[in-house]
Amino acid sequence: MLIMITGGQRSGKSMFAERLALSLTDHPVYLATAQVFDDEFRRRVDVHKARRGPQWTTFEEPLRVDEVAVGEGDVVVFDCVTLWATNWFFASGENVGTALDEMTTRLDALGRTGATLIMVTNEIGLGGVSENALQRRFTDLQGSINQYVAAKADEVHLIVSGIDVKIKPQASLRP
């Protein structure tokens, strides 16, 4: 099972994903993709860690998420696709095609583990088009990987101001 959780920054995506994971298992896995480069971000990571209790197993892997030891029966909160995309964007020399190839290959391998994946990501393309070429290329990568994950997902949830709006599967209308 693949569940995608998307929305804006600070919208409540991670907390929603964590609650969902705990509703599915008593011992969830947290797969963190962030790389910490400054004190402010370290404080954000510390808040996330403090929110999770001892029942969580945490793996930190900025690139090779398919090499993390998860398998059948595990419920994994993958937090987050956006930071993972950032890591691959720069690891690939800012080449969108190379980064996307790496990411889709590794996501497919992670999906074959049989774990339930709850993937947190950001909708960064809802605003205006950046004047910065580097930012536009990253937005292309983020949009492409989000579309890839959404297409494979069994469920997609959009979190808006802490409120869950389920967008896939859509409720069918009766004629």
- Residues noted as catalytic: 48
Distance CA 26, CA 157 (A): 22
Contact 76, 118 (CB under 8 A): yes
Distance CA 116, CA 72 (A): 8
Which residue from 48, 51, 46, 68 is spatially nearest to 117, judged by alpha carbons? 68
**CB burial string 79-115: b at 16+ within 10 A, e below:** bbbbbbbbbbbeebeeebeebbebbeebbeebeebeb
Which residue from 16, 29, 20, 17 is spatially nearest to 55, judged by alpha carbons? 29
